[in-house]
Every structure is written in structure tokens, then in C-alpha cells.
């Protein structure tokens, strides 16, 4: 006789599938925002499960900063092909050429992604956008709803959120308003890795440790490539590293690691003492409320 208790991973999976189906049932035109990172890929995997044996009934959108690792783009294209899903690309370099946004002095395209995203949402008439955000990532995210209401400008107002009671989500919006939906809200980084290992999910190989040429900048290890070339006076070394998050190639640092298989990564993450963003993202360290401020502007 079975115990009728779902393991926590299967409970999280069931909850995410419930959320994804709820959006498709109630919203006019949903889209899944896909960055090519592990969280986006888990979302895509869950979406495929939610509608099997039918195809995923919405497109995915990649806000392409032009600064992606090639292996991430390759992985994206494999997923698109395998699932037979429509891919919409909103290009930041194109938006720079058109004058919609301007390159920032620090070289980060993180902030200027937001207007590009909002323009593409409007142009395509998307009224719901799935994001891979998790509440364990950051303090401001811990306060955000699963169905996160955004006004006509894509802005988040933390003081004016819809209460979320039981699993009764309210996705009603007026013209121009939208909902950001976070099916992975209750997952932690460890859950994501445990699930990826349990389901053997295809990821960009950046996540697995291998010998790479890196340069140490203030304790952060950057892979030497066309986006982060060696500067004068710097020396590189070859070390076994992997990536815990995958963002723009000019900003995302690797971590020293020997974890070359999914199970080794789960073990490593279970023992690790520093958050993924703290370890690898220079752009989140701007201020105590950097994420909250970016979300207020319409970011995720």
C-alpha cells in the first residue's frame, strides 16, 4: 500500500504544473521568458509536462542581450527544436541601433533589457509572462506573489499586491496591464539541481565543471573569451570551474568546482555556503535594494 505522501520535489513539480495550466486557461496570450539558464530550462521542462501529450500552447521569448555564451544559445535552439515551440527573440543590440535604449557606461545590459522586454510584450500583446524567478534568490523576490500584477508600464508595486490565498490565483487584468508568473517561486537552488538531476535535464555545459582559462578579478573568476578578454597586466590560469548562474558573458563569473556531473553538483550545492548571486553576479551588488528597484521598473 502506498503512503499517499508526495516527496517535496514532486509536490513542487505538481504545484508548478498547476500554476502553468492556470495561466494558460485564464490568460489571453501568455509567453515564457527564456534566458537559457537552468531555471528557464526547468520551467520549459515543466510546461512540456503540463500539456503532454499536446505541445506547449504558448511561445517562448528570449530577450537577447547580444552578450550570450554561444553554448547557451545552442542549448536554447535544441530545446526549441525538440519541443516544436515558437521562439520570439527581442534583441537588445537591435534596440540600441534603433535608439530605444542606450548602452550603459559599465557595460552591463541588465537594466536596458527592461524597455526591450516591455516593448516586445506590448508589440506581441502578451498579457502574461512566465519568469524563472525564485523567492530564495533575493529578499525582494521573497515578497513577490506567484501571480505578480504589473501595471501598464510593467511596474511592480510591493505595497499594492494582490493577496494570494490557497491556490486561487487572480490573473484578471485591464488592457495594457500584465501578470508576471513565477511557477518556481517555492523552489530553492538546491531543489532546482535535485530536480535537474532526478529528471536528467539537458543544460548548457557551462554548468558542469571543466578546465577553463580564467582570470581572477577581486575574487571572482571570469572565463577568458571574446566578452571578457584579458586586460593589460592581468594573467590567466587554467582551473576547474563551473557556472552557478548563466547571465551575460561579460558579467557572469564562474566558481572553482570539481563537480562534473549533475549528482556531484547537487552534493556541492547542498554544502555550499554562499548564494548563487553573491558568488557570481557583479550586477546585483549595486545596492541593498538593487533588485527591488529593478523590479519596480519592470524587470523580473
Partner 1 sequence: MTTTTDTTAEALTDGSVDLLRFATAGSVDDGKSTLIGRLLFDSKTIFEDQLDSVEKVSQDRGNDYTDLALLTDGLRAEREQGITIDVAYRYFTTPKRKFIIADTPGHIQYTRNMVTGASTADVALILVDARKGVIEQSRRHTFLATLLGVPHIVVCVNKMDLVDYSEEVFENIRREFTEFASRLRVPDLTFIPISALVGDNVVNRSENTPWYDGSPLLSHLERLHVASDRNLVDVRFPVQYVIRPQSHDARDYRGYAGTVASGVMKAGDRVVALPAGLETTIESIDTADGPVEEAYPPMSVTVRLADEIDISRGDMIARPNNKPAALQEIDAQICWMDESAPLVKGKKYAIKHTSRWARAMVKDINYRVDVNTLHRDEEATEIRLNEIGRIQLRVTVPLFVDPYTQNRQTGSFILVDEATNKTVAAGMVGGLPRSA
Which of residues 71 and 155 has its CB atom nearest to partner 1 in the complex? Answer: 155
State yes or no: residue 220 binds partner 1 (CB under 8 A).
no
Q: Least distance from C-beta 84 to partner 1, angstroms?
A: 9
Q: Is 18 in the site for partner 1 (CB under 8 A)?
A: yes
Figure out which of the listed residues 113, 178, 194, 245 binds partner 1, where binding follows CB under 8 A: 194
How many other C-beta atoms are found inside a 10 Å radius of the C-beta of residue 155? 14
Q: Which residues 132-191 are close enough to bind partner 1 by CB under 8 A?
A: 135-136, 138-143, 158-159, 161-168, 170, 172-174, 185-186, 188, 190-191
| Three cell numbers, residue 132 | 524563472
Q: Does 5 bind partner 1 (CB under 8 A)?
A: yes
Residue closer to partner 1, measured from CB, 82 or 143: 143
Beta carbon of residue 153, minimum distance to partner 1 (angstroms, whole number): 17
**Which one of 19-27, 72-80, 118-126, 218-226 is the stretch in contact with partner 1 (CB under 8 A)?**
19-27
What is the CB neighbour count within 10 angstroms for residue 59?
Answer: 17
Segment near partner 1 (CB under 8 A); pick from 18-26, 99-107, 204-212, 221-229? 18-26
For the bound state, the minimum distance from the C-beta of residue 253 to partner 1, rounded and expressed in Å, comes to 13
- Judged by CB under 8 A, the chain residues 42 through 71 that form the site for partner 1 are 48-55
Q: Please state the closest distance from residue 238 (CB atom) to partner 1, in A.
A: 27
Closest to partner 1 by CB, 91 or 275 = 275
Closer to partner 1 by CB, 118 or 173: give it.
173
| Range in contact with partner 1 (rule: CB under 8 A) among 31-39, 106-114, 226-234, 275-283 | 275-283
Distance, C-alpha 85 to centroid of its chain: 18
Q: How far is the CB of 293 from partner 1 (least distance, A)?
A: 8
Q: Are 128 and 27 in contact (CB under 8 A)?
A: yes
The interface mask with partner 1, positions 230-269, x = CB under 8 A, is ---------------------------------x--xx-x
Residue whose C-alpha cell reads 571543466 in the numeric block? 210
Q: How far is the CB of 274 from partner 1 (least distance, A)?
A: 5
The 3 state secondary structure assigned to the chain is CCCCCCCHHHHHHHHHHHHHHHHHHHCCCEEEECCCCHHHHHHHHHHHHHHCCCCCCCCEEEEECCCCCHHHHHHHHHHHHHHCCCEEEEEHHHHHHHCCCCCCCCCCCCCCHHHHHHHHHHHHCCCEEECCCCCCCCCCHHHCCCEEEECCCCCCCCCCCCCCECCECCCCCCCCCEEEECCCCCCCHHHHHHHHHHHCCCCCHHHCCEEEEEEEECCEEEECCCCCCCCCCCCCEEEEEECCCCCCCCCECEEECCCCCHHHHHHHHHHCCCCHHHHHEHHHHCCCCHHHHHHHCCCC
Least distance between partner 1 and beta carbon 185 (Å): 7
Amino acid at each position: 500500500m502506498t503512503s499517499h505522501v508526495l516527496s517535496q520535489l514532486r509536490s513542487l513539480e505538481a504545484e508548478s504544473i498547476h500554476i502553468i495550466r492556470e495561466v494558460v486557461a485564464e490568460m489571453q496570450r501568455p509567453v515564457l521568458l527564456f534566458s537559457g539558464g537552468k531555471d528557464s530550462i526547468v520551467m520549459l521542462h515543466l510546461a512540456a509536462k503540463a500539456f503532454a501529450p499536446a505541445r506547449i500552447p504558448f511561445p517562448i521569448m528570449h530577450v537577447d542581450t547580444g552578450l550570450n555564451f554561444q553554448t547557451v544559445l545552442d542549448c536554447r535552439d535544441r530545446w526549441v527544436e525538440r519541443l516544436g515551440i515558437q521562439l520570439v527573440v527581442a534583441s537588445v543590440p537591435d534596440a540600441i541601433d534603433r535608439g530605444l535604449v542606450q548602452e550603459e557606461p559599465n557595460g552591463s545590459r541588465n537594466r536596458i533589457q527592461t524597455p526591450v522586454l516591455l516593448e516586445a510584450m506590448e508589440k506581441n500583446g502578451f498579457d502574461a509572462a512566465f519568469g524563472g524567478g525564485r523567492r530564495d534568490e533575493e529578499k525582494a523576490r521573497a515578497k513577490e506573489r506567484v501571480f505578480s500584477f504589473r501595471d501598464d508600464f510593467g511596474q511592480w508595486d510591493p505595497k499594492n499586491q494582490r493577496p494570494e490565498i490557497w491556490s486561487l490565483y487572480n490573473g484578471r487584468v485591464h488592457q495594457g496591464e500584465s501578470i508576471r508568473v513565477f511557477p518556481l517561486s517555492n523552489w530553492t537552488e538546491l531543489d532546482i539541481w535535485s530536480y535537474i538531476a532526478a529528471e536528467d535535464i539537458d543544460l548548457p555545459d557551462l554548468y558542469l565543471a571543466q578546465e577553463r582559462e580564467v582570470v581572477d578579478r577581486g575574487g571572482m573568476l571570469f572565463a577568458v573569451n571574446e566578452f571578457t578578454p584579458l586586460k593589460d597586466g592581468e594573467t590567466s590560469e587554467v582551473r576547474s570551474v563551473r557556472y552557478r548562474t548563466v547571465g551575460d558573458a561579460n558579467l557572469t563569473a564562474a566558481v572553482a568546482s570539481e563537480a562534473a556531473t549533475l549528482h556531484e553538483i547537487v552534493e556541492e550545492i547542498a554544502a555550499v555556503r554562499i548564494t548563487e548571486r553573491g558568488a557570481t553576479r557583479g550586477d546585483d551588488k549595486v545596492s541593498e535594494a538593487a533588485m527591488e528597484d529593478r523590479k519596480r521598473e519592470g524587470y523580473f
